[in-house]
Amino acid sequence: MRRALARYGGALVAPRATVAASGPEEGLRDGIWLSLLYLAVTSVYPVAEGFANWWATRNLGGIVMILSAFGRALIVPIVALVAVETILGQGRAHRRGLALVPMVVVVLAMRQVPWRATVGVPYLPELLAMLAAVGWTLWVRRSIPEQEARG
Amino acid sequence: MSRLGLGVGVVFVAAALAQGAADFARARADWAAMGPLPPGSAAPAFAVRTLSGAQFEPEHLQGKVSVLTFWATWCPACRSEIDDLDELDDEYEGRPDVQFMAVNAEGVPPREAWRKAAGYAAKEKLSLPIAVDNGSMSRKFRVGPIPHTVVLDPSGTVRHVHLGRVSSSTIAEEIEQLLQESR
């Protein structure tokens, strides 16, 4: 837990040093934990709305609404992880999860500003978050020790 | 791993969880008003005009099983459902205890919505009654994604809500069940 927190903080304050110092078996579940944090920041209310729809209908349509809420929430981290993995390549892909740290920071920051009132771009936080993940990955890529591809 | 990294990591995770907790608290507070108007609710006050020029209001729900479907011409699932409901409406033709109303929720200015709804009804030769909503009735029934279909009993109480495409056989079963209850 302590090492994970230090890794997440390190990904923000000293990204290259952090990825270079992380052991090969360290943080293999970062992608899962950080995706859950992403959901916590962006999707608690929409998922609750999905449950409210199901509560009112109690039928298949309501279940579809819940699945749709989860699907809309998860599509961004999934696409980001695929993009990051493509950039990193097979030998460095074990560090892909950490790229979600800047994503979570961006969506968290965007939650604090009333961007909807001033900017007419839909999905702006998601777009900026993806850019942050991709930019972070390009920045640290060469510092990640390459691993032998696993059979 | 530096102390700075650990500190920033703690703040990062705490801030994300705090945002999630705040949203959860907001969702709990809003729970009663979330989602569609649920079964058991009385029909809210509304007034829409039908394509034939008549006014449609809650008092017209009294004494009849009513099927209200919110739809738009740009929505393929709605068009498919409207075609089915048009056939079902024909089956109940002449029955004073059952009524259908397709409430157009086009999401465009009223005149344009009227033109599109009337154009679609003429093109498809629909006999299903159609009303045009300026958004107010949809808000009162808390309509989100369409098609959104509500079945009300003869006292004007919401009994069934369907989000997304619903088959006419399901609606027919619900109508028959409510008719039996009211006998």
Instruction: Give pLDDT tens digits for A74-88.
Output: 899 999 999 999 999
Residues of chain B by 3-state class (helix, strand, coil), percent to 5: 45, 20, 35
For residue B144, the model assigns a pLDDT of 87
- Are A52 and B34 a contacting pair at CB < 8 A? yes
Joined together, the tokens standing for residue B169 give 């056989």
- Are A14 and B164 a contacting pair at CB < 8 A? no
For residue A53, the model assigns a pLDDT of 85
Q: Is A123 left (phi over 0), alpha (psi -120 to 50) or beta?
A: left
Q: What is the DSSP code (8-state) at residue A24? A: T
- Return the number of CB contacts < 8 Å for A and B: 114
Which strands form B48-50's sheet, in the order they lie side by side? B55-56, B48-50, B130-132, B98-104, B65-71, B148-152, B158-163
Cross-chain CB nearest to B7 (options A9, A104, A105):
A9
Chain A contact for B166 (CB, 8 A cutoff): yes
For residue A151, the model assigns a pLDDT of 45
Query: In the block, which residue shows the tokens 């994300």?
Result: B16
Q: What is the DSSP code (8-state) at residue B144? A: -
The b-or-e profile of B38-75 (16+ CB within 10 A means b, else e) is bbebebeebebebbeeeebebeebeebbbbbbbbbbeb
Cα A41 to Cα A37: distance, rounded to the nearest angstrom: 6
Q: Give the rounded percent of residues in chain A with a pLDDT score beyond 70.
A: 93
Considering only alpha carbons, which residue of chain A is nearest residue B19?
A41
- Are B162 and A57 a contacting pair at CB < 8 A? yes
Q: What single-letter amino acid sits at A111?
A: R
- Are B2 and A56 a contacting pair at CB < 8 A? no
- Mean pLDDT across chain A, nearest whole number? 87
Chain A contact for B17 (CB, 8 A cutoff): yes
Average pLDDT over residues A3-28: 87
Give chain B's count of helices (H) and strands (E): 5, 7
Average pLDDT over residues A56-67: 82
Average pLDDT over residues A120-133: 86
For residue A61, the model assigns a pLDDT of 76
Q: Is the pLDDT of residue A119 over 80?
A: no
* Cβ count within 10 A of residue A27: 22
List Cβ neighbours of A121 (8 Å cut-off, separation of 6 or more).
A127
Joined together, the tokens standing for residue B22 give 């705040």
**A57 within 8 A of B165, measured Cβ to Cβ:** no
Q: What is the pLDDT along chain B (183 residues), one digit of tens a residue?
A: 588 888 999 999 999 999 999 999 999 999 988 889 999 999 999 999 999 999 999 999 999 999 999 999 999 999 999 999 999 999 999 899 999 999 999 989 988 999 999 999 999 999 999 999 999 999 999 998 899 999 999 999 999 999 989 999 999 999 999 999 987
List Cβ neighbours of A123 (8 Å cut-off, separation of 6 or more).
none
For residue A95, the model assigns a pLDDT of 87
Average pLDDT over residues A35-60: 89
Q: Give the rounded percent of residues in chain A with a pLDDT score beyond 90.
A: 38
Cross-chain CB nearest to B12 (options A39, A61, A105):
A105
Phi–psi pair at A32, nearest 5 degrees? -70, -50
Joined together, the tokens standing for residue A22 give 């992380």
